[in-house]
Structure 1
Amino acid sequence: MITRSALRRGFFGLGLLASLPLSAPAFAQALAPAPEAPTGRTFKPVGTATKDMVAAANPLAAQAGREILAAGGSAVDAAVAVQLVLNLVEPQSSGIGGGTFMVFWDGKTMATLDGRETAPAAAKPERFLGPDGKPMKFYDAVVGGRSVGVPGTLRLLEAAHRNWGKLSWPQVIEPAARLAEEGFAISPRLNGLLSQEKYLQNDPVARAYFYEADGKPKAVGTVLRNPALAKTLRTIADKGADAFYTGEIAQDIVTTVTGHATNPGDMTLEDLKGYKVQERDAVCGNYRTYRICGMGPPSSGQVAVQQIMGILETQDMASLKPGPDAVHWIAEAGRLAYADRALFLADPAFVNVPVKGLTDPGYLKSRAALVDPNKSMGKAKPGDPPFQKTFLWGASDSIEFGTSHISIVDRNGNAVSMTTTIEDGFGSRLMTKSGFLLNNELTDFSFATTEDDKPIANRVEAGKRPRSSMAPTIVLDGSGKLYAVVGSPGGSLIINYVAKTLVGILDWKLDPQVAADLPNVGSRNGPTELEAGTEAEGWKAALEAKGHEIKLIDQNSGIHAIVVTPAGLVGGADSRREGVAIGN
């Protein structure tokens, strides 16, 4: 028997694993959980279920989704419940004060909904330039109302529920409202993040909620109740999302944003009232015998994932196995994808984004031909994809950190992959009196307005949606049936996290738990980044011999993945965070 601990020590026996039948019992038997890896990390056992499954970033949120599924709810019903509980128990990462991308599969059609935040009507390209005309320091821009975009999450949840929900709207909101009233125990992760946080206490509402009178964060195990959020959720359950985008709650949002003492924003009631969810065309591409689909622009995530996978398809990744040679190809593919991302990707309502050209198989083969198997290219340049119109943009980058991901499969085979965010941890550090934190999503725009005298595609503009790296993904098998649901938080590293997990599942035939827990590796068109404290550190010398500049960094992914097998569902929740994969 091959054990999980054997895999951790250096992925020995990978060939045996690949030969196992892809079934829940085989995975559970072959990959017995090891309590402790040589690196000191603790790994979770794989999750299995026969009917339905939820993989989410907190056990309470996952359990809420599981109960909705058991009551006959759809994957979307469960997603609403999970997201609203996450708002409560994982407030640093997502919630109704932020934005969301959802990919939905109903067995026939792949739909994608864009609930990304928008810039207020008063926003101008110079929003994040200081008096000297230079870009502001990141946290000088983040903390306060200037960074807050018009939230989109709740409008998206309502639209998805209207289209694909089975249970009533109040029924799927009730678990979060009840938990907000009754309270939940503060987890070690939330306590640790509050302990590290430098800015949240400056907001009086957040300070009263999260901290003791002496300024210390409330202790692990403290029951945290949020009656304000419970009231907000029950109002929304009764009156719909309009109760959030108009009226008392909307006025609370505007007052919070515009009333910051040193860094006020300019959001108005009209900005909130006018927010609309956009249904986009899914970005899909073939990878070996599979079809990978996800969210298009304004997310750069799926386009970049498709590019990485398209380049890797030219290689026999299964024979490379986890190690320096595989990392070389993953990193080089990442350099090429991130180079294109920086130049071409932005809100398609404002710029022409050549998605068809960027994901064209012929173009990706030409990009793959730039990779030397024996030497790193160092810094990649953007390509010249087909099907583009004249494109005179400068390159930029943007990041986000406060993010979560939800993967769900219901008993009818419907699937949701949803990545949801408030951007940085704890967002703008503004908490409304209605009980939720507000995003700082506008700092996902480029702070600079031009590059080489060319306007930057991802610059701030009124009504625009900032570029994202979120990459909620659904994979179909060769017969067009649901095979996997994957996604992760992690800012601009999300693209590499998702690509690594897909290689692990599709090429190396790992169960989703082991694939999620593989060391994170890749390049964002800079140094080759290896996850510190993992087996990847041992690959440093071999990669340096190929000319890679290596940087060891913490890579706190939160991958949640579900794979459909002949025997049922197999799920993984990244061991780096507190999530679980559970089902019925």
Structure 2
Amino acid sequence: MTARFLLTGVLLLLPFSALADAANPPAARSPVNAATQMVASANPYATDAGLEILRRGGSAVDAAIAVELVLTLVEPQSSGIGGGAFLLYWDDQAKTLQAYDGRETAPSAVDETLFLDASGGPRGKSDAVPGGQSAGVPGVVRMLAMAHKAHGRLGWAELFQPAIKLARDGFVVSPRFTYLISNDKHLKKFPETAAYFFDAKGEPVQPGTVLKNPALANTLEILAADPEAFYTGPIAADIAAAIQNTPINPGKLTEQDIAGYQPRLREPVCVPYRVWRICGMGPPSSGGIAVGQTLGILEGLGIDKVRPMSAEAVNLFAESARLAYADRATWLGDTDFVHVPVAGLIDPSYIASRRALVTPGSVMPDAPAGLPPGAREAYRTVEPSEIPATTHFSIVDRWGGTVAMTASIEDAFGDRMMVRGFLLNNELTDFSFAPEAGGKPVANRVQGGKRPLSSMSPTIVFDAEGRPVATLGSPGGPLIIGFVAKTLVGVLDWKLNIQDAIALPNLVYFGGNLIMERDSALWQQKDALAAMGYQMREGSLVSGLHGIVIHYDDNGGRTLEGGADPRREGTAAGD
């Protein structure tokens, strides 16, 4: 499979997280400014909860826990305690950057035949998503407990109070929430899920309704007393029983799988970019490598010299990203199971060799994967399979502690199974369904205990003095990489404020087409782009970018500038 097909079908997988906002094109916003601390997240309830924790004297990690717990309630289609996450944390006092891996793992009993049909071919993804077969062991709770033990300032139980209160008292349902429910064909297949999201007449909960979730409140009270209660005891037993006994795609996840889950501390992936250092997650996320490769290729192509979102800019960005996506689809996987040449993929000489394939003003007939230094095994290129139902938030506390966290349950509403008030993930469908192609193994094939490849790209940027100057990320499945890279170019190269950089139109190249955000200014460049050789289409490329830029004065003081994606319902707020 050639690289030009790597993203084929991605737009077909966007209806729940992207088209939900398609009728509401981005509205102009101004950045939010603060002096000491800030939260930018996908929902105002979550932003307020995180800021409340910061005001109580909590750290950025403390606030992150409160934010994610509230998102479990108010944004259940995107993330929650039934899913996984990646968290980057900069400790400004210790001057250390840590990368926490809370990605889900496959049950020990599954193998590479998990998503094959009776004839030995890959099943359709839409058929594999609902039910227990697609669920991996949730990693969020243990990962957050691990980060809190190292960096928390407030007590663990205190961080649960905003979400518990909101679950008991209720939150006001938004139009987007109702739209997502209305357009999901699987929610009604599971009684507990249907009872929560629909009324007695089978109608979805309506905007303006105060929706309560006492079952989730009870679960959170148990976890507030002991996070291990998620992984052993009645909660774990209920998760395993639901997955094994559902009549729709029953799975093999066991209580032993849940009890054995361990979050990981990973090495951050950091790449130089002009005077900055861009740091992100390494495998099993492809985000840090692919964002770094995209920017590294662009650095030598003069992206900073062209007008933002001009035809020249679109051309350089699209061709650079194509090469990064090709390497992503060929070389990336869980390093606990496959060899990933991380150092080779971000080696400046290798990136320069990739850059040499780009001819400004033209379209590459193909964008093949390269052969990075240190590569041992020849893997087969396969298309990304993620569906963009994810969330991202960024936090800076009064001590300079900085968080970039991206969390997910994969598809909108995950596997649609609700247990004790929260939804379970369908992250196993992020694995490649076919274990091999063309006689070569696929790096991201299914294996018991393995973590599926992700595109989540929580990112922290550092200046030449080693100070954090930006934290950002986005949902969007495999499109996350492009969304984040675009925003970084906007801030670092084009000197836009974070809000304007987030609002820049999105674009992606796949299936032989340049897909540009519907109703955006990019369409003013269509004639020039057509002359270069592009075939163009519109797409609802709805990101969920949230970020904070940190400005320093000559005396070492700092101010914060936050932005939230106008394509969704997030906010930034601070003091």
Report the TM-score range of the alignment, normalised by the length of the smaller protein: over 0.9
Closer, same or farther: CA 359–316 of 1 in aligned 2, 3 Å: same
8 Å CA contact retained: 1:343, 1:396 = no
Q: How far has the Cα of 1:524 moved from its partner?
A: 4.9
Partner deviation per Cα, 1:85-137 (whole Å, 9 max, x = no partner): 00000000000000000011112111101000000011110111111222111
Q: What is the identity, as a one-letter code, of the residue corresponding to 1:498?
A: V
**In structure 1, C-alpha distance between the alignment counterparts of 2:205 and 2:485, rounded to whole Å:** 37
Corresponding residue to 2:81 among 92, 96, 103: 96
Q: How far has the Cα of 1:282 moved from its partner?
A: 0.5
Residue of structure 2 equivalent to 1:298:
284
Q: How far has the Cα of 1:256 moved from its partner?
A: 1.2
Matched, 1:575 2:566: yes
Q: What is the identity, as a one-letter code, of the residue corresponding to 1:374?
A: G
Matched, 1:76 2:67: no
Residue of structure 2 equivalent to 1:174:
161
Describe how 1:306-321 pairs up with structure 2 within 5 A.
306-321=292-307
Corresponding residue to 1:131 among 97, 104, 118: 118
Matched, 1:504 2:495: no
Corresponding residue to 1:51 among 36, 40, 49: 36
8 Å CA contact retained: 1:512, 1:572 = yes
Residue of structure 2 equivalent to 1:561:
547
Closer, same or farther: CA 177–321 of 1 in aligned 2, 3 Å: same
SS at match of 2:329: helix
Corresponding residue to 1:548 among 527, 534, 537: 534
Matched, 1:423 2:414: no
Residue of structure 2 equivalent to 1:539:
525
8 Å CA contact retained: 1:125, 1:459 = yes
SS at match of 1:376: coil
Describe how 1:9-408 pairs up with structure 2 within 5 A.
41-107=26-92, 108-239=95-226, 241-322=227-308, 323-408=310-395
Q: What is the identity, as a one-letter code, of the residue corresponding to 2:85?
A: T
Unaligned runs of 5+ residues in structure 1 are: 1-38
Q: How far has the Cα of 1:526 moved from its partner?
A: 4.5
Closer, same or farther: CA 524–349 of 1 in aligned 2, 3 Å: farther
Residue of structure 2 equivalent to 1:528:
514
Q: How far has the Cα of 1:544 moved from its partner?
A: 1.7
Q: What is the identity, as a one-letter code, of the residue corresponding to 2:320?
A: A
Closer, same or farther: CA 345–393 of 1 in aligned 2, 3 Å: same
8 Å CA contact retained: 1:379, 1:525 = no
Q: How far has the Cα of 1:523 moved from its partner?
A: 2.4
**In structure 2, C-alpha distance between the alignment counterparts of 1:209 and 1:390, rounded to whole Å:** 48
**In structure 2, C-alpha distance between the alignment counterparts of 1:519 and 1:393, rounded to whole Å:** 32
Matched, 1:495 2:495: no
Q: What is the identity, as a one-letter code, of the residue corresponding to 1:226?
A: N
SS at match of 2:88: strand
**In structure 1, C-alpha distance between the alignment counterparts of 2:486 and 2:136, rounded to whole Å:** 31
8 Å CA contact retained: 1:336, 1:525 = no
Q: How far has the Cα of 1:55 moved from its partner?
A: 0.3
8 Å CA contact retained: 1:338, 1:525 = no
Partner deviation per Cα, 1:204-258 (whole Å, 9 max, x = no partner): 111111111111111101111111111110101112x210011111111111111
Closer, same or farther: CA 111–524 of 1 in aligned 2, 3 Å: farther
Partner deviation per Cα, 1:137-194 (whole Å, 9 max, x = no partner): 1111001101000000111110010110100000111111111111101011111111
**In structure 1, C-alpha distance between the alignment counterparts of 2:365 and 2:79, rounded to whole Å:** 35
Corresponding residue to 2:421 among 435, 438, 448: 435
Q: What is the identity, as a one-letter code, of the residue corresponding to 1:101?
A: F
Closer, same or farther: CA 120–420 of 1 in aligned 2, 3 Å: same
Residue of structure 1 equivalent to 2:440:
454
8 Å CA contact retained: 1:394, 1:454 = no
Q: How far has the Cα of 1:42 moved from its partner?
A: 1.8
Partner deviation per Cα, 1:340-367 (whole Å, 9 max, x = no partner): 0111000001110001000001111111
Q: How far has the Cα of 1:43 moved from its partner?
A: 2.5
**In structure 1, C-alpha distance between the alignment counterparts of 2:221 and 2:25, rounded to whole Å:** 44
Residue range with higher mean Cα deviation, 270-279 or 103-112: 103-112
SS at match of 1:362: helix
Residue of structure 1 equivalent to 2:401:
414
**In structure 2, C-alpha distance between the alignment counterparts of 1:462 and 1:381, rounded to whole Å:** 30
Q: How far has the Cα of 1:44 moved from its partner?
A: 2.5
* Count of equivalent residues: 544
Closer, same or farther: CA 291–525 of 1 in aligned 2, 3 Å: farther
TM-score in terms of structure 1 length: 0.92
Q: How far has the Cα of 1:388 moved from its partner?
A: 2.1
8 Å CA contact retained: 2:434, 2:442 = yes
8 Å CA contact retained: 1:46, 1:572 = yes
**In structure 1, C-alpha distance between the alignment counterparts of 2:97 and 2:320, rounded to whole Å:** 26
The RMSD of aligned alpha carbons is 1.2
Residue range with higher mean Cα deviation, 316-325 or 80-89: 316-325
8 Å CA contact retained: 2:550, 2:559 = yes
SS at match of 1:370: coil
Q: How far has the Cα of 1:40 moved from its partner?
A: 5.4
8 Å CA contact retained: 2:330, 2:379 = no
Partner deviation per Cα, 1:499-558 (whole Å, 9 max, x = no partner): 000000000111111100110023257422211111112222211211122221111100
Q: What is the identity, as a one-letter code, of the residue corresponding to 1:91?
A: P
**In structure 1, C-alpha distance between the alignment counterparts of 2:383 and 2:304, rounded to whole Å:** 34
**In structure 1, C-alpha distance between the alignment counterparts of 2:495 and 2:275, rounded to whole Å:** 13
**In structure 2, C-alpha distance between the alignment counterparts of 1:431 and 1:339, rounded to whole Å:** 36
SS at match of 2:113: helix
SS at match of 1:128: coil
Residue of structure 2 equivalent to 1:28:
none
Residue range with higher mean Cα deviation, 223-232 or 515-524: 515-524
Closer, same or farther: CA 180–143 of 1 in aligned 2, 3 Å: same
**In structure 2, C-alpha distance between the alignment counterparts of 1:207 and 1:409, rounded to whole Å:** 38
Q: What's the % identity of the aligned pairs?
A: 51
Residue range with higher mean Cα deviation, 398-407 or 336-345: 398-407
8 Å CA contact retained: 2:331, 2:379 = no
Closer, same or farther: CA 87–79 of 1 in aligned 2, 3 Å: same
Q: What is the identity, as a one-letter code, of the residue corresponding to 2:561?
A: V
Residue range with higher mean Cα deviation, 492-501 or 564-573: 564-573
Q: What is the identity, as a one-letter code, of the residue corresponding to 1:74?
A: S
